[in-house]
A and B are shown apart, each in its own frame.
Chain A
C-alpha cells in the first residue's frame, strides 16, 4: 500500500480536542509531515493552529487563554425572553443563550486577521448550513469567521452569519469530517474523534436538549465513519484517546492530561505508521 497525501482530521469534542496536540507531538517527533488538516467544532481550533504552523506549547497556551468558563458567563437575556415569549420579544434563527461577544473577542485574540491563505498547509474547517443542513467546508476567508461558525454550539452560541448564509456547529452535519479529506485527495487519513458525552443527570431543559443532541450526533458519527471506512480507497487510521476521568466543556485545567492521553493513543499507531511510510517509500 503506497500513499502520497497524509491528512489529519480532528473531530468535534470541545476540550477533548486538545488531544490532537498530543498526536501532533508524536507526529513531529517521528518526522511525519501532514499534507492537509481538517477540523470540526472544537477540532477546528486545533486544526487552524496546526495549519498555521505553531508549536504544541503555543497552541496549549492559546487554548488556556481562549477556552475558559468565562466565555459562557454572560447570558443572552434577550434570547431567553424571546424563547419564552416569542411574539413579544421576537424569535429568530440567531438564537443562543450565551452572549457571544467574549468568545468572539477571544477568537480574534487567537487568530487576529489571519486567513486560510496564512496556513502553511491546506486547511479545511467545517460548519453546517442552518437552512439546508448541508455541511459547509471553509478553505478561504477569515479564520475567525470559520472557527466561530464551526463552534456555534446549538442553544449556547447563536448561529454565525457569513455573507448571505447562516451557520451552526460543524458536528451537526458530521462530527468527524473524514469525507472532506477523502474528497480533497488524501490517501492516508489519521483521524481523531470523540463521542459526545451523555448527561449524568437531566436536571434542566438545556441538559435535556444536550442529551438529545448527543444521541443524534453520536449516531451520526458512527454512520458517517462506517460509510467513509468503506468508501475510502486507502487507509483511515482512527486514534481514539481513552479518558479515565470525565471531562466537561470548560475543563481547561485538564488540558495537559488530555494532551498526554492523545499522545499515548497516537504512540500506539506509530509502529504501523512507520511501516506504512516504509512501504510507501519502497514502492
Chain B
C-alpha cells in the first residue's frame, strides 16, 4: 500500500494505492493519526486507488473518522471503487461517512 499526503486549501488529502487490509491498516491508521493529531482534521481520503478493504481497513477508517469529528473535523472519501463501495455499503459505512465522486467535490464539501 502506498500513502501520499498533500494539502489543498484547508483540507488534507490522503491518497491510498493498494489494499486496506489486516497487513496494511496499521500503517494507514498511523498516517491518519499523525494528520489528525497535527491539527489537520479536515481530511479527504482519495480512495480511487484502493482495490480492496477488509474488516481491519474498516476499523482504521472508523477510528479516524471518530477522532477527526471529536476535534471538529471530518474524514470524507472520494472516488470509491465499486468493489470497495459494496463492502462499505454492506458494513453500513455509507450511512455514516460522506462519499463523493471525486477529490474536487470532496474538498469542496468542506467549504459549505
Contact = CB atoms under 8 A, between A and B. Distances in A.
B91 A276 contact: no
B39 to A, nearest CB: 27
B69 interface: no
A233 B52 CA distance: 19
A272 B58 contact: no
A230 B57 CA distance: 10
A236 B19 contact: no
A240 B90 contact: yes
B56 A235 contact: yes
A276 B23 contact: yes
Interface string A190-233: 00010000000000000000000000000001110110111010
A223 B95 CA distance: 11
B21 A238 contact: no
A236 B54 contact: yes
B90 A225 contact: yes
Interface residues of B, number: 19
Contacts of B91: 222, 225-226, 229
A234 interface: yes
B22 interface: yes
Interface of A: 1, 193, 221-223, 225-226, 228-230, 232, 234-238, 240, 268-269, 272, 275-276, 279
12 contacts: A1-B23, A222-B90, A225-B90, A226-B93, A228-B55, A229-B59, A230-B55, A234-B56, A235-B55, A236-B54, A276-B23, A279-B23
